[in-house]
Structure 1
Amino acid sequence: MRILVFFLFIHCLNICFINGGILSEQEALLAIKSAIKDDPHKSLSSWKNTTHHCNWSFVTCSSSSHSPTVISLDFSNLKLNGNLSPQIGFLTNLQNLSLLFNDFYGNVPSSLHLLTKLQYLNLQFNQFSGRLPLFVNMSELRCLSLGGNHFSGSISPKFSKLQKLQVLDLSGNILSGLLPHELGLLKRLKTLDLSNNFLDEFIGDLSKLEELHIWGNNFTGSIPHKLGTNGKLSYLNVSSNKLSGPIPESLGSCKKLYFLNLNDNQLTGQLPVNIEKLTSISYLSVANNNLIGKITPQITGYNVTNFKNSSICNLVNLLILDLSYNKFNGEVPHCLGNISLTIS
């Protein structure tokens, strides 16, 4: 009980000291508008004291007729420019906040962590900077998208406290360091996008993911054998890293995998025989590695002359196949165009 009272006390202190007192939702929204320096399309022109804030553009309130509260604020694609006002912390019933494709800059206000009911937070493609913010109090978060900004630092193990998280997108920032193993504790996480950063080592169990985007980093070591062992992996892009070693056989068990990009690494060995099991695959690229061997025998295990039985020909959904800039030899399977060429 004392812990609860203490938490509520701290919560009230945070609210009261944001701007010296408690603001109503309408006052908080007007403060948010005031911090915006440029509104090129006059998107917030309806935000006036003369009308109820639940009738303002891009504001959604709860359906309660007695006391409706703001539950969604969606500024997506409005081209707004300015700071995100710390007064946003007064919108304590907010469940959805999207600032996607704007030009907000500076640090994310610390008051944002007061929005404990948030389920969807999208700050993608702005100019936010500073250390990667933590939202450990937002235990209801399902989707956290912070990509396309200038956040720096490392990924904190404390992200593992967001146990309801299904999508985590930190792509296109300046993040570095290790991938903490605690991310493997996010049992509901389906999509993880860390692409286009400076991360440098795989740590943790990511076997439960459905989508993994980590292209454009400095990851070293081998591709984890546990990856995709749950059979749910549908999208994997690890291109443009420094990964080495063989392509794990476990990827052959990913029957839902439709996109596989292993480009621009230092992978060695041969293509796994069980790659034939990727019957949902439409994009398959292993270009610019150090892979060796014959294409057909390693993919199929069948006689190259009997291309109708060739299992690469059984990949009926395959639209793009890129094997360039490796050390393959032998013949190209006839089914790839009913031609016979030699790969050098």
Structure 2
Amino acid sequence: MFNRSIIQSLRLLKSLKTLSLHYNSLEGSFPAKELSVFEDLEMLDLSKNELNGSLTVQGLCGLKKHEELDLSWNSFEGSLPSCLYNLTSLRRLFANPSKLESFQFRCDNEKVEIEIENSNWVPLFKLESLVISNCSLNKLSHQLPTFLFHQHSLRKLDLSHNGLKGPFPDWLFRNNTRLKSAILNHNSFTGHFHLSLCLNSTSVIDVSNNQLNGKLQQNIGEILPNIRLLDTLDVSLNNFSREVPKDLFVGCSELSILVLSNNYFDGHLDWVPLSNLTRLFILKINHNQFSEAMPNELPNFMDLDLLDVSNNKMSGRIPTWI
């Protein structure tokens, strides 16, 4: 078990700023209580030991001045505590628990650096939830972590606001067919936006504010109806162009938020399938190049709360249903 006397013997060092216990044979759970006396601790290294158990203890987040925390090469399991992202001084975090199921880290600014790139690393864990948002993720390469190629059980994925670059990672959808939420907004992904026919549990897809281009894939009208639980689709602030496929929304009975704004879509938008989206709550198609008049009657838009069709090339009279 963890020999807590090691830390207890240091408890009089109230101003301790750096504590490294790495590469020993320390066992047992994370010593949150013992570490809580070091209020000025800035760097803690417990890597390459035999520590185990859950890290969900709030004591881990009591170290308010922490700048660097290394928990890698241990046997922790479960989820990292959500309170970690309240540590405003934290700059570097290292953790690769073999039984990790959830990693969630939202930063208040992009000063927190999270480096997860190692092309030779094949992780033992199978993540169900991965949230790294508004951080400086893989600052040197700006690439998606390659360890994601080995993840096939993701249900929640949020890599928003990280400045990631490269082609749109359609393989993430193919590899994780049980994905419920995919939030990849505010990055710099390029290329075409492709979804997998295997998706049937996804409720949220947000790829807004990237550099995606071209037209929407031809068979997207077959894919979206298969995603029966789709509630939110946001592809705004990209460089999509051409016409929106006429059968895009056929069968999307649960869709309540649809955002196509700030692209280069043009031509005629087919309002008939749109009017069958009886749960639609928000519809934004502004700042595109849609033309022709809006239909005079759309009786099924009963729950619509926000409609934005501004900055297009539409003509004709304002419909009576508005």
TM bucket, shorter chain = 0.7 to 0.9
Distance (whole Å) between structure 1 residues aligned to residue 60 and residue 242 of structure 2: 42
Once residues 266 and 95 of structure 1 are traced to their aligned partners in structure 2, the CA distance between those partners, rounded to angstroms, is 41
Partner SS for 1:274: helix
CA contact (8 A) 2:112 2:135 kept: yes
Contact 1:239-1:262 at 8 Å conserved across structures: yes
Residue 213 (structure 1) aligns with? 206
- Give the structure 2 partner of residue 106 of structure 1: 91
Give the Cα separation in 1 of the matches to 2:310 and 2:63.
41
Q: Does the 8 Å CA contact 1:132/1:154 hold for their aligned counterparts?
A: no
The residue number in structure 1 matching 2:266 is 268
**1:289–1:326 contact (8 Å) kept in structure 2:** yes
Partner of 1:56: none
The answer (yes or no) to whether the contact 1:78–1:101 under 8 Å persists in 2 is no
Look up the equivalent residue of 2:125 and give its one-letter code.
Answer: S
Corresponding residue to 2:233 among 229, 232, 236: 236
Aligned partner of 1:246 in structure 2 is 243
- Residue 103 of structure 2 is matched in structure 1 by 121
Q: Which of 72, 80, 83 is the aligned partner of 2:56?
A: 72
Contact 1:291 1:328 in 2 (8 A): yes
Structure 1 pair 328–149 and aligned structure 2 pair: CA distance change class (3 A): same
Name which of 172, 181, 189 aligns with 2:161: 172
For the 8 Å contact 2:32–2:59, the answer to whether it is kept is no
Which amino acid letter does the alignment assign opposite residue 88 of structure 2?
A: D
Residue 4 of structure 1 aligns with which residue?
none
Contact kept in structure 1, 2:261 and 2:284, CA below 8 Å: yes
Aligned residues with identical type, % of pairs: 20
The structure-2 alpha-carbon separation of the partners of 1:156 and 1:269, relative to structure 1 and needing over 3 Å to count, comes to: farther
- Pairwise CA distance, 1:131: 4.2
In 1, Cα distance between the equivalents of 2:24 and 2:41?
A: 27
Matches of 1:322 and 1:243 in 2, distance apart?
18
Aligned pair in 2 of structure 1 residues 253, 287: CA closer, same or farther (>3 Å)?
same
TM alignment of 1:1-344, pairs within 5 A: 19-25=22-28, 29=32, 69-70=53-54, 72-74=56-58, 80-87=64-71, 89-90=73-74, 92-98=76-82, 99-109=84-94, 112-113=95-96, 115-126=97-108, 127-129=111-113, 131-133=115-117, 137=123, 139-151=125-137, 152=139, 153-156=142-145, 158-183=147-172, 184-202=174-192, 204-207=194-197, 208=199, 209-224=202-217, 225-226=219-220, 227-230=223-226, 231-248=228-245, 249-272=247-270, 273-296=272-295, 304=296, 310=297, 312-336=298-322
TM-score, structure 2 normalization:
0.74
TM-score norm. by structure 1 comes to: 0.70
Q: 1:147 to 1:326 in 2, by over 3 A?
A: same
Q: Give the paired residue count.
A: 276
